[in-house]
Structure 1
Amino acid sequence: MSIAPQDSELYDQAVAHLRALTGRNDARFHPGQFESIRALVEERARALVIQRTGWGKSAVYFISSLLMRKFGGGPALIVSPLLALMRDQVAAAERAGVRAAAVNSANATEWNEIRADIEAGTLDVLLVSPERLNNPRFRDEWMPSLMKSCSLLVIDEAHCISDWGHDFRPDYRRIRDLIGRLPSRVPVLATTATANSRVVADIQEQLGVTLPSQERGDAETSGDRAASERQGVFTLRGPLSRASLRLGVLNLPDNASRIAWLLEHLKDLPGSGIVYALTISAAEDTARILAESGYVVRSYTGRTDTGEREEAEEALKRNDVKALVATSALGMGFDKPDLGFVVHLGAPSSPVAYYQQVGRAGRATESADVLLLPGREDPEIWKYFATASMPTRENAEAVLAALQNAGRPLSVAALESAVNVKRTSLELLLKVLSVEDAVERVQGGWEATGRQWAYDAERYERIAEARRREQTAMLDYEAGTQCRMQFLADQLDDDTAEPCGRCDVCAGPWYPSEIDVESSRRAKNGLVKVGVPIEPRAQWPSGLPKLGIDHKGKIPEAERVERGRVLARLTDLGWGNRLREIFAADEAGHPIDGEVPADVGKACIGVLAEWDWSRRPSAVVAIPSRSRPQLVDSLAQGLSAAGRLPYLGQLELAPQSESATDRRGGNSAFSAASVWGKFRVGADLAAGLAELRGPVLLVDDLVDSRWTMTVAGRELHRAGADGVLPFALALQG
């Protein structure tokens, strides 16, 4: 480029917008920012910008949007992955004088007004989610005009395009088709802070890159970034080390010790911050224990309502709370430049995902503390989430067969009754199949396209192997044989990183490791609290009649079980580890059976003692178990003896169920169908029920879908039981 940036008219216009955006008259571009803007505005290029959090990627696309508008273009279209991110982006745009709006499920009442602003030419930026691009109404009514008027397409958090990335979103893959439909004059910008070379190559492929890389020397700045050009694509990659972050890893023996460390030392961490946990129950338990000890904290998980999430985010931004105790639901999109610390109770499954989460801290401060407290259960949790997110051949073929046989569009609810796939997994699978052109979302639901499709087992195995390598790398990070910041940068294929001089590997531990007796006592007392409610099923699944079971609508109250209890969830910080040991399998994958351990039995008695039931049980009945008969029988008999309640024995397995497969983990209709007709009340048990005055305690080992308890309880009701109170050792999830 022959014209120096500071000598160009475009530069003067761009820097004026930058100063309006920042509110500072002395603002200057970071190295690479103006080059990116120029590539978009002057060259109408496709650009990929990989820069650390806080570098100013949003400034690039907001300023480019304003410049394109000044040159007569229509609004920029920004594809953004999360509602929280859209909220922050709209707010940032408004502060800079950029007229922005978002179209999402939370503001449907504003859509007509937004569309009118687009048609009137008064909107600069429109933000949508990738899923919105496949919404039939939006696709048919909005996209044709947007394709004609759009002056810039921005793909934010572009690592979501790649199934090698840590936040893969299937709908991002359809952006390649969107780019293909754009007029050639429309520039495209993809941005991310977390992409290694493999993810970069995949993003470039999705952008339609086909030519080999060529160095673009005139875009180099002081050796701190690399740029390349591929068939109209400008790639800018900057250093990813974060000088403000002080990283550390503290290994403690168990969950109680990690909670105790927080109880004692959270107050000493700078400012306000985030405590990340791997599971919803861990986040909720930790927030409860901290709050009980006087800390002002809130939990933030996938179970948190949208309104409560917004309140929690604002409370943290105002420093009204010391911390949000969160799952990965709080990640991309949360912007608090002065966030003082990030603590992890348990490690994410990859260094790249970890870098993304800790990158929320220290964006506008000289120092922020980042500490990882890994757990021994981490690899097991990683394995569960990796398995749950991977489509299987069996499920994919079942979905396609159901759609083809239907001959008409099927809603997700209707499809769920035809295939044995849980709702969340089914929705993810439909997105994957849609991106691969095997199914299409239309008015009324989903339908098969009829195009040839084959399950790419080799590709999924490559992804699974990549995930396993990432998990190994995370364990290497914990081991601490290299500067921690340099290690994270290396994982992102940034070879410019040098030892930071601040982390616990470079400078020694900066965090206290001591835990006093009182903190340990409070942590243990908080974790040993036992008893998780099991809410009763009140309605039959809508798909039961299609499976040959003529029941639908509400379950009659006279046939419903009452609110029950389990000792704990398998994912709980307190009893979760102990229960996972009990439910572990042997090397061949077979369940390990045995009597209930004394400590677990004692805890179960504690649950019964604290149960706020309106009517005390008058007897105990067990659900027969093929996998752990000793465990269930000893639990039932132990509770019977401790409560001085008669033990009436087990329900019988109906003859036709003896060859049935217990399909735990399927969707609600199939789970209910798999236990329908499975149990019956024998003569001796019926006689015992006839003599009772009061409900029975129905005992099992593990609760998953709750249909076993629901169907078994119904049989007891029909045999004369005066109420059924479910109880089990553990709740799945």
Structure 2
Amino acid sequence: MTHADRSDLRASADAVLARLVSDTTGTARLRDDQWRAIEALVADRRRALVVQRTGWGKSAVYFVATSLLRERGSGPTVIVSPLLALMRNQVEAAARAGIRARTINSSNTEEWETVNAEVAAGEVDVLLVSPERLNNPDFRDQVLPRLAAATGLLVVDEAHCISDWGHDFRPDYRRLRTMLADLPSGVPVLATTATANARVTADVAEQLGTGADTDALVLRGPLDRESLSLSVLQLPDAATRLAWLADHLGELPGSGIVYTLTVAAAEEVTAYLRQCGHTVASYTGRTEDADRRQAEEDLLGNRVKALIATSALGMGFDKPDLGFVVHLGSPSSPIAYYQQVGRAGRGVEHAEVLLLPGREDEAIWRYFASVAFPPEELVRRTLDVLGQSERPLSLPALEPLVELRRTRLETMLKVLDVDGAVRRVKGGWTSTGQAWTYDSDRYAWVARQRAAEQQAMRDYAGSTGCRMEFLRRQLDDEAAAPCGRCDNCSGVRFSDKVSASALDAARGELSRPGVEVEPRKMWPTGMAAVGVNVKGRIPEGEQAFAGRALGRLSDIGWGNRLRPLLAPQSADGPVPGDVVDAVVSVLADWAKGPGGWASGEADAPARPAAVVSMASYSRPELIASLADRIAQVGRMPLLGSVEYAPQAQESGPPPRSNSAQRVRALHEAFIVPQGLAGALAATDGPVLLVDDFSDTGWTLAVAARLLRRAGARGVFPLVLAVQA
């Protein structure tokens, strides 16, 4: 292409940009590096890796390149994009530039056939695909080959997800290597991310074929965000942090996001701030898709002051005038933190970024770290089961045969699929028979990397140096320098003072006890495969009633009180008085609430007439004392305890595993002693079944079944804590 041709191409590119940003003056111009990337893709048909800060304009690169390539007869652009919020933003942005964009993702399954037909007819300029689609058997085997053959440009957005060195590794992204191998010669490829240090950048470049040994363009820019003012505010407890939000949320500029580490915390904070008169909405992995869309629209339209969100809102949400990001709790990685705070200040001169770390943060980090890649013996067990099966095994069929919970099992299978050891087909998963090596060194290195990132976040919170410089150095930004804007550079901007009224309200909200415990109603599938003769719905006469817990371990209220009490290393002992008082409050509210035995409703169950405790290896004194105190306060007899069977006493506590394995381990682990059975038969009413903790709910379900079979009129589970 001649110099004149490239000049004409640049003019055309700037014209597309003007349409994209709705510039009617004709003054919009691409940044130099944006043009360099577009030129490489369109004029030279090269591969490019762009590592630039959030708000730099990476989407402009692929939309402008798409428009120019389509004008020159290229096929549609395929964008692999991780989040629905991003996809919705991208479709709207594309339309402004006259680009026809469609999506294929989990929320629009009813449109897939229509979208595929439109792509085949040449009516789509951009197809946004979720990474999970890449290994769907029908899509992978039927749609993907045709798509690869016709693609004019492949874009991998949030490309750090392809690297397990990164903070947000997603095995589905590894399928891109297959698509890359099938691309015709000369099809350009663009990978983009805002959150990659040098190691992640090198790994992504190697996997996408944009490494140093290829004729590729790598653009890595400085990561400073001149609009962001970073601060950390150390407050003594969760109630004070909530009170601070209630007092100061209205003072923060514009509208923004308050991030929490757990779904439970997001829901707690949303409820409290609404009670304080703030217009906020919750946005988590549990939020229904329609509600997510409404929350996004309300934030974009400034109809809410803030979304109270988990990392479900982490990538791709595009609101240029977002005025603040507050973290109620510290993420475990400075790279993840940088990405989330990068949502703010993209189209305004000033935005506030504030971290309010909490003492519960590290317990939450440890929980998420516990779902890392499984140990080798569990992986080998899974491979053996698949290798011995004559047919594909679905996740529900495979789960009873291996000691992994479904989410962790699925992630592991995706990694094994990428490694070539298994394959996803119609009906489930099969073994390929290929040799596979457990890369223990790599997994151990990743674990050490996670630990180093956690230490970096501790260092960030306590740093007296420039905070933006700290984050940029974590991302290996060679241009990192003091920003002059953060609290350490320019002075503290936020007072730690809170009003007495807000603090009292926060303490009231966080100290309010009580969480419903939904009973198990269906047995896990595939139990016959592990020698347990149960299936389908648990008979109503053997089910527990809905139960109660004092709190969730992931709460920022009672969770903070219960975590130390129930931690594996905690000593056993009598139940503390404040915990007893709170449990009594739970019982009182339970009795009077909807469906409660004192509610006056016609179909309300009878009041509990007695108390039964659960056996425990680790906390027998805690559970026994709790059951005894409840019996005393409620003036009910304590009938005894569901005990471990002799063989279970010898083997120790059953492992915490997936539902099927958990039921297999529990179904013969307990007995109802003869004395307890006699007392149940003589008791005219349901019993309260007292335990310390419920994770999967299967201990309560199995014990309730035994008690009902032994003559109990009903079983109300009561525990101190549930996991989430």
Q: TM-score of the superposition, structure 1-length normalised?
A: 0.95
Q: Which residue of 2 aligns with 1:474?
A: 457
Deviation at 1:130, TM superposition (A): 1.7
**Which range moves more in the overlay, 495-504 or 337-346?**
495-504
Q: In the TM superposition, what whole-angstrom CA distance separates every residue of 1:223-258 from its partner, at most 9, and x where no partner exists?
A: xxxxxxx52110001111111111100001111111
Q: Is the 8 A contact 1:661 1:674 kept in 2?
A: no
Q: Which residue of 2 aligns with 1:190?
A: 191
2:138 maps to a residue whose letter is R
Q: Give SS of 2:692's match.
A: strand
2:521 to 532, 538, 546: 538
2:565 maps to a residue whose letter is I
Q: Is the 8 A contact 2:33 2:219 kept in 1?
A: yes
Q: Give SS of 2:312's match.
A: coil
Q: In the TM superposition, what whole-angstrom CA distance separates every residue of 1:373-430 from its partner, at most 9, and x where no partner exists?
A: 0011212211221221333223211211111111211111111121121111111111
Please give the alpha-carbon distance, in whole angstroms, between the structure 1 residues aligned to 2:330 and 2:450. Answer: 14
Please give the alpha-carbon distance, in whole angstroms, between the structure 1 residues aligned to 2:589 and 2:225. Answer: 49
Please give the alpha-carbon distance, in whole angstroms, between the structure 1 residues aligned to 2:210 and 2:149. Answer: 23
Q: Give SS of 1:324's match.
A: strand
Q: Gapped runs of 5+ residues in structure 2?
A: 598-605
Q: Does 1:75 align with 2:66?
A: no
Aligned residue pairs, count = 710
Q: Does 1:595 align with 2:578?
A: no
Deviation at 1:116, TM superposition (A): 2.3
Q: Which residue of 2 aligns with 1:223?
A: none
Q: Give SS of 1:620's match.
A: strand
Q: Is the 8 A contact 2:617 2:653 kept in 1?
A: no
Please give the alpha-carbon distance, in whole angstroms, between the structure 1 residues aligned to 2:614 and 2:110. Answer: 50
Q: Is the 8 A contact 2:47 2:210 kept in 1?
A: no
Q: Is the 8 A contact 2:48 2:210 kept in 1?
A: no
Q: Is the 8 A contact 1:594 1:631 kept in 2?
A: yes
Q: Does 1:385 align with 2:368?
A: yes
Please give the alpha-carbon distance, in whole angstroms, between the structure 1 residues aligned to 2:32 and 2:470. Answer: 24
Relative to structure 1, is the Cα distance of residues 577 and 233 closer, same or farther in structure 2, using a 3 angstrom cutoff?
same
Q: Does 1:688 align with 2:679?
A: yes
2:505 to 512, 522, 534: 522
Please give the alpha-carbon distance, in whole angstroms, between the structure 1 residues aligned to 2:474 and 2:248. Answer: 30
Q: Which residue of 1 aligns with 2:223?
A: 240
Q: How does 1:159-178 map to 2 (within 5 A)?
A: 159-178=160-179
Please give the alpha-carbon distance, in whole angstroms, between the structure 2 residues aligned to 1:654 and 1:365. Answer: 66
Please give the alpha-carbon distance, in whole angstroms, between the structure 1 residues aligned to 2:141 and 2:84. Answer: 22
2:386 maps to a residue whose letter is L
1:605 maps to a residue whose letter is V
Deviation at 1:210, TM superposition (A): 5.5
Please give the alpha-carbon distance, in whole angstroms, between the structure 2 residues aligned to 1:677 and 1:148. Answer: 57
Q: Give SS of 2:12's match.
A: helix
Deviation at 1:92, TM superposition (A): 0.9
Q: Give SS of 1:329's match.
A: helix
Deviation at 1:678, TM superposition (A): 2.0
Q: Does 1:573 align with 2:560?
A: no
Q: Does 1:150 align with 2:151?
A: yes
**Which range moves more in the overlay, 389-398 or 285-294?**
389-398
Q: Which residue of 1 aligns with 2:601?
A: none
2:489 maps to a residue whose letter is C
Q: Is the 8 A contact 2:210 2:217 kept in 1?
A: no
Deviation at 1:659, TM superposition (A): 2.8
Q: Which residue of 2 aligns with 1:222?
A: none
Q: How does 1:581-620 map to 2 (within 5 A)?
A: 581-586=564-569, 592-611=571-590, 612=593, 613-614=596-597, 615-620=606-611
**Which range moves more in the overlay, 21-30 or 391-400?**
391-400
2:394 maps to a residue whose letter is S
Relative to structure 1, is the Cα distance of residues 4 and 512 closer, same or farther in structure 2, using a 3 angstrom cutoff?
farther
1:424 maps to a residue whose letter is T
Q: Which residue of 1 aligns with 2:15?
A: 16
Q: In the TM superposition, what whole-angstrom CA distance separates every residue of 1:61-94 from its partner, at most 9, and x where no partner exists?
A: 0111111111111101111111221111111111
Deviation at 1:112, TM superposition (A): 2.5
Q: Is the 8 A contact 1:100 1:127 kept in 2?
A: yes
Deviation at 1:209, TM superposition (A): 4.8
4+ runs deviating over 4 angstroms: 1-5
Q: Is the 8 A contact 1:664 1:704 kept in 2?
A: no
Q: Which residue of 2 aligns with 1:101?
A: 102
Q: Gapped runs of 5+ residues in structure 1?
A: 212-229
2:620 maps to a residue whose letter is P
1:8 maps to a residue whose letter is S
Q: CA RMSD in A?
A: 1.5
Please give the alpha-carbon distance, in whole angstroms, between the structure 1 residues aligned to 2:647 and 2:278. Answer: 56
Q: In the TM superposition, what whole-angstrom CA distance separates every residue of 1:249-282 from its partner, at most 9, and x where no partner exists?
A: 0001111111111111111111111111111111
Q: How does 1:543-562 map to 2 (within 5 A)?
A: 543-562=526-545
Q: How does 1:689-728 map to 2 (within 5 A)?
A: 689-728=680-719
**Which range moves more in the overlay, 486-495 or 453-462?**
486-495
Q: Does 1:653 align with 2:644?
A: yes
Q: Give SS of 2:54's match.
A: coil
Q: Give SS of 2:401's match.
A: coil
Q: Give SS of 1:262's match.
A: helix
Q: Is the 8 A contact 2:420 2:434 kept in 1?
A: yes
Q: Give SS of 2:680's match.
A: helix
Please give the alpha-carbon distance, in whole angstroms, between the structure 1 residues aligned to 2:643 and 2:201. Answer: 58
1:351 maps to a residue whose letter is P
2:22 maps to a residue whose letter is G
Q: Which residue of 2 aligns with 1:497?
A: 480
Q: Does 1:325 align with 2:304?
A: no
Q: In the TM superposition, what whole-angstrom CA distance separates every residue of 1:589-633 from its partner, at most 9, and x where no partner exists?
A: xx5211111111111111111113223211100011111110110
Q: Which residue of 2 aligns with 1:217?
A: none
**Which range moves more in the overlay, 11-20 or 658-667?**
658-667
Q: In the TM superposition, what whole-angstrom CA distance separates every residue of 1:125-159 from its partner, at most 9, and x where no partner exists?
A: 11111221111111122122212211111000001
Deviation at 1:4, TM superposition (A): 8.9
Please give the alpha-carbon distance, in whole angstroms, between the structure 2 residues aligned to 1:91 and 1:649. Answer: 64
2:578 maps to a residue whose letter is D
Q: Does 1:675 align with 2:691?
A: no
Q: TM-score of the superposition, structure 2-length normalised?
A: 0.96
1:485 to 463, 468, 487: 468
- Among all aligned residue pairs of Structure 1 and Structure 2, give the percentage whose two residues are the same amino acid: 55
Q: Which residue of 1 aligns with 2:613?
A: 622
Q: In the TM superposition, what whole-angstrom CA distance separates every residue of 1:150-190 from its partner, at most 9, and x where no partner exists?
A: 11110000011111111111111221232122122101100
Deviation at 1:661, TM superposition (A): 4.4
Please give the alpha-carbon distance, in whole angstroms, between the structure 2 residues aligned to 1:163 and 1:468. Answer: 14
Deviation at 1:691, TM superposition (A): 2.2
Q: Which residue of 1 aligns with 2:357?
A: 374
Please give the alpha-carbon distance, in whole angstroms, between the structure 2 residues aligned to 1:408 and 1:252. Answer: 57
Please give the alpha-carbon distance, in whole angstroms, between the structure 2 residues aligned to 1:468 and 1:679. Answer: 39
Relative to structure 1, is the Cα distance of residues 441 and 661 closer, same or farther in structure 2, using a 3 angstrom cutoff?
farther
**Which range moves more in the overlay, 554-563 or 173-182?**
173-182
Deviation at 1:358, TM superposition (A): 0.5
1:402 maps to a residue whose letter is V
Relative to structure 1, is the Cα distance of residues 521 and 210 closer, same or farther in structure 2, using a 3 angstrom cutoff?
closer
Relative to structure 1, is the Cα distance of residues 720 and 242 closer, same or farther in structure 2, using a 3 angstrom cutoff?
same
Q: Give SS of 2:229's match.
A: strand
Please give the alpha-carbon distance, in whole angstroms, between the structure 2 residues aligned to 1:108 and 1:583. Answer: 43
Q: Is the 8 A contact 1:277 1:344 kept in 2?
A: yes
Relative to structure 1, is the Cα distance of residues 246 and 210 closer, same or farther in structure 2, using a 3 angstrom cutoff?
closer
Deviation at 1:105, TM superposition (A): 2.3
Q: Which residue of 2 aligns with 1:220?
A: none
Q: Is the 8 A contact 2:144 2:179 kept in 1?
A: no
Q: Which residue of 2 aligns with 1:221?
A: none
Relative to structure 1, is the Cα distance of residues 83 and 661 closer, same or farther in structure 2, using a 3 angstrom cutoff?
farther
Deviation at 1:648, TM superposition (A): 0.7
Please give the alpha-carbon distance, in whole angstroms, between the structure 2 residues aligned to 1:88 and 1:659. Answer: 58
